[in-house]
Chain A
Amino acid sequence: MILLSILLFKTGLAFTLFLITLGIAAYSTYFERKVAAFMQDRVGPNRAGPLGLLQPIADGVKMIFKEEHRPTGSNRILFILGPSIAMLTALMTTAVVPWGKTITIGGTAYSLQVADINVGILYVFGVVSLGVYGILIGGWSSNNKYSLLGAVRASSQMISYELAMGLSIIPIILGSSSLQLSDIVTSQYEVWNIFKYPLGFLIFLICAFAETNRTPFDLPECETELVGGYHTEYTSMKLGFFLFSEYVNMFASSAVISTLFFGGYHFPGMSLFPEGIAAILGIAVLFGKIIFFIFFFMWIRWTIPRFRYDQLMHLGWQVLMPMAILLIVIYGAIFSFI
């Protein structure tokens, strides 16, 4: 009976999470355009609905009703598989993020996490690296040299930064002696990880930008050199999936950043509130942090220009990687002496 109710709860949670992710991603597109407009002293979308709030829906409808086109000589199955993988992997990441404190209803403890697997953070990295396949397959199956070049460029960028990203969180894993995200969050009850590992955070943040293909690392799409990048040949909703998965990824990485470095659902003075209220406030706080990071992604986008490709590789391999390794050595020494 308890097992059934937990199962039901998890299914409901997964479904809610799915809807929330899609909703936030959809409204990030709107938010992005608004932020861009404000930063450039413009107004932004304001025609569809009050304040332009229906804009994402209008965009979606437009995307769906656009003409579908598949280039001749392209691989039919892989051409469809590309955007599907990109979207699927983007949506899978958030499954292991703990969204709040465990809540107890009628004697049963429900954890606000779809799957609390003991290799949580590895799962995140595994799923994120699968996202490369979406882009590479999409670019390759288009039967277009520019798409292929764009895809190769995108995937090599993502792979390069994945390494530094993985290394940058090893101090955290050492510190909390667990790969489980729920443990990492609870270990930040007193001090958030950002204060313990500021440099690690910086590396992680930069890599997160590169992983989500956001400016200044948005090399995969480049109109001046590669026509459009890996999605040159994509039209209609298939293109929509590629673009949309970027926003889903942005949401997911904001969630992961908040969880790893900003104490997840913890907030200062949490112990002052009674159990239940603290749990609910925690969820709100986590979403607040996530929204801040989504804003931060956009903020950076309208501030910093794009990297040159060799600079990008230089930064990834010759700056971030050694720095991350050095951090591991330093923190390793610290942890073994105390």
Chain B
Amino acid sequence: MQLTNRSKQVSNKEMTFSERMYLPAIAGGLRVTFSHMFKKSATVQYPEQVREHSAVFRGQHVLKRDAEGRENCTACGLCAVACPAEAITIVAEERKKGEEHLYREEKYAAVYDINMLRCIFCGLCEEACPKDAIYLTDRIVTSNYERADFIFHKEDLVEAVALEGRIDITKRKKDK
């Protein structure tokens, strides 16, 4: 099967004298490299210039809140079960009286950790979640010096209450 029209038939026939001189081939090579001097560079100047991710990009997770600012997650543990890398740790707690404005269901996650070193960004947690609580976003998990810093706790994952701090996941929601 031919994938491009640039493939060349290889053979191990003896080289002719002019081929063994190598110089024409070298000149050809020099011509190719020189022509590249004037081509547009493919570099993206990263910190200043960020390349747009595709709609299906799966980056760092977010734990969503509902319209009233309550956490969606009910600590059912389905995401942790679905996770093939076993990256998610959840400790559930019961919602007390007067906490209704914080948590949407009677049960909530007191601890919600994702080990970003284990996570393979497969997105199965997002698929498993029945409460629309966890989504993968277009944010990139930042680098760190310590392994411990890669365990993202709830405060790193839950989005802000304020509307402007919310994270847009509409691109990922489309097919649901």
A residues lining the B interface (CB < 8 Å): 35, 37-43, 299-300, 302-304
- Contact yes or no, A42 B29, CB < 8 A: no
- Contact yes or no, A39 B37, CB < 8 A: yes
12 residue pairs from A and B, CB less than 8 Å apart: A35-B37, A38-B37, A38-B41, A40-B36, A41-B36, A42-B42, A43-B45, A299-B30, A303-B32, A303-B33, A304-B26, A304-B29
Enumerate chain B residues within 8 angstroms of A37, measured Cβ to Cβ. 41
Top 10 A-B pairs, shortest CB-CB distance? A303-B29, A43-B43, A38-B37, A303-B33, A39-B33, A41-B41, A39-B36, A41-B42, A43-B41, A41-B39
Give the docked Cα–Cα distance between A155 and B13 (Å).
35
Enumerate chain B residues within 8 angstroms of A39, measured Cβ to Cβ. 33-34, 36-37
Give the docked Cα–Cα distance between A41 and B35 (Å).
10
Give the Cβ gap from B152 to chain A, nearest Cβ, in Å.
30
In this complex, the interface size class of chain B, counting residues with CB under 8 Å from chain A, is: 10 to 19
Give the docked Cα–Cα distance between A164 and B158 (Å).
72
Give the Cβ gap from A38 to chain B, nearest Cβ, in Å.
5
At the interface, yes or no: B40 with Cβ under 8 Å from chain A? yes
Give the Cβ gap from A244 to chain B, nearest Cβ, in Å.
25
B residues lining the A interface (CB < 8 Å): 26, 29-30, 32-34, 36-37, 39-43, 45
Tell which of B33, B43, B45 touches A299, judged by Cβ atoms closer than 8 Å: B33
- Contact yes or no, B30 A42, CB < 8 A: no
Give the docked Cα–Cα distance between A299 and B27 (Å).
11
- Contact yes or no, A300 B30, CB < 8 A: yes
Give the Cβ gap from A227 to chain B, nearest Cβ, in Å.
27
- Contact yes or no, B26 A42, CB < 8 A: no
Looking across the interface, which residue of chain B has its beta carbon closest to that of A301? B33
Given contact pairs A39-B34, A41-B36, a sample of 9 additional A-B residue pairs in the complex whose CB atoms are under 8 Å apart: A37-B41, A38-B41, A39-B36, A39-B37, A40-B36, A41-B43, A42-B41, A42-B42, A299-B34
Looking across the interface, which residue of chain B has its beta carbon closest to that of A315? B22
Enumerate chain B residues within 8 angstroms of A43, measured Cβ to Cβ. 41, 43, 45
Give the docked Cα–Cα distance between A41 and B32 (Å).
12
Give the docked Cα–Cα distance between A303 and B22 (Å).
13
Enumerate chain A residues within 8 angstroms of B33, measured Cβ to Cβ. 39, 299, 302-303
Enumerate chain B residues within 8 angstroms of A302, measured Cβ to Cβ. 33
Give the docked Cα–Cα distance between A43 and B37 (Å).
10
Looking across the interface, which residue of chain B has its beta carbon closest to that of A202? B23
Enumerate chain A residues within 8 angstroms of B42, measured Cβ to Cβ. 41-42
Give the Cβ gap from B137 to chain A, nearest Cβ, in Å.
29
Give the Cβ gap from A168 to chain B, nearest Cβ, in Å.
16
Looking across the interface, which residue of chain A has its beta carbon closest to that of B36? A39
Enumerate chain A residues within 8 angstroms of B34, measured Cβ to Cβ. 39, 299
- Contact yes or no, A42 B43, CB < 8 A: yes
Give the Cβ gap from A67 to chain B, nearest Cβ, in Å.
20
Give the docked Cα–Cα distance between A43 and B48 (Å).
14
Give the Cβ gap from A46 to chain B, nearest Cβ, in Å.
8
Give the docked Cα–Cα distance between A303 and B37 (Å).
12
Give the Cβ gap from A200 to chain B, nearest Cβ, in Å.
15
Give the Cβ gap from B108 to chain A, nearest Cβ, in Å.
47
- Contact yes or no, A303 B41, CB < 8 A: no
